[in-house]
């Protein structure tokens, strides 16, 4: 474990060395941002709408007592979506979509000796391959989480219209009542940390791949599994510290 942690830290150190040519790195960062952000927007939108709708219906079912105001469903759905569902569930999905892509891409370059060719030409391979992905992760994942929060709350509103368990007006009253900006700050901190975890761990697994196509698939699987575990651990730590 300590050996792997040392290799991980040294790889991150190499990844953020001064670039040889800034314009090349900038183009790579933009390409990774488009791949991570725009490429993941569809799946994040679909998941957020359905999770927001399902959460609101379940909360309304559990708070069916006449003594409980119906607007409380909007407040609980809002805080749950902002604090937990949007940052954590979205990041777990991105670990599967983006993380596996990162690990398999870098792993394929390693087993096909493209990384060796870059190093022979004097290019800092970790910096060229990994740092743009990390920058894209810490930049685009928070933006995707903001979209997820908006669509999740909107999905809850649509569920109120369709199901009728909670009136849309009561839901909106609950969403707007007692809003605390700290919840959004916590969500954005989580999203930034999760983006770093996904990109760095999956890139590490891909960079140190040995063997052939089978090992590339194994590295991608390890990257996704380790990222998910670290996301859940970081979620617990950040929640304990900030709340």
Question: What is the pLDDT at residue 43?
Answer: 94
Q: Nearest-5° angle of CA 199, CA 204, CA 208? A: 150
1 compared with 217, residue with greater pLDDT: 217
Q: Is-contact 11 130, C-beta < 8 A?
A: yes
Q: What is the pLDDT of residues 44-55, one digit of tens each?
A: 999 999 999 999
Is it the case that residue 131 has pLDDT exceeding 90?
A: yes
Render 30-84 in DSSP notation, one character per residue. Answer: HHHHIIIIIHHHHHHHHHHHHHHHHHHHHHHHHT--TTS-TTHHHHHHHHHIIII
Ranges of each domain in the chain: 21-242
Mean pLDDT, residues 98-102 taken together: 94
What whole-number distance in Å separates Cα of residue 83 and Cα of residue 189?
10
* pLDDT (0 to 100) of residue 178: 84
Instruction: Please state, in angstroms and rounded to a whole number, the distance separating the CA atoms of residues 15 and 25.
Output: 12
Give the model's pLDDT for residue 51: 93
Q: Model's pTM, two decimal places?
A: 0.91
Average per-residue pLDDT for the chain: 91
């Amino acid at each position: 474990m300590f050996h792997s942690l040392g290799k991980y830290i040294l790889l991150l150190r190499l990844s953020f060395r001064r670039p040889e040519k800034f314009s090349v790195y900038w183009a790579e960062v933009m390409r990774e941002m488009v791949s991570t952000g725009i490429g993941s927007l569809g799946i994040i939108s679909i998941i957020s709408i359905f999770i927001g709708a399902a959460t609101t219906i379940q909360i309304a079912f559990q708070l069916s007592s006449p003594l409980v105001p119906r607007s409380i469903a909007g407040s609980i759905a809002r805080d749950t979506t902002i604090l937990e569902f949007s940052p954590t569930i979205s990041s777990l999905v991105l670990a599967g979509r983006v993380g596996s892509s990162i690990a398999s891409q870098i792993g394929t370059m390693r087993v096909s000796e493209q990384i060796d060719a870059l190093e022979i030409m004097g290019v800092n391979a970790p910096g060229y391959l990994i740092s743009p992905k990390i920058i894209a992760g810490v930049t685009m994942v928070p933006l995707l989480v903001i979209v997820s929060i908006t669509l999740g709350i909107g999905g809850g509103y649509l569920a109120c219209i369709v199901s009728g368990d909670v009136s849309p007006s009561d839901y909106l009253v609950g969403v707007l009542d007692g809003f605390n900006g700290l919840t959004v700050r916590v969500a954005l901190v989580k999203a930034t940390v999760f983006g770093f975890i996904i990109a760095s761990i999956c890139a590490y697994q891909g960079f140190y791949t040995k063997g052939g196509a089978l090992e590339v698939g194994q590295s991608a699987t390890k990257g996704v599994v380790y990222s998910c575990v670290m996301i859940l651990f970081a979620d617990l730590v950040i929640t304990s510290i900030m709340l």
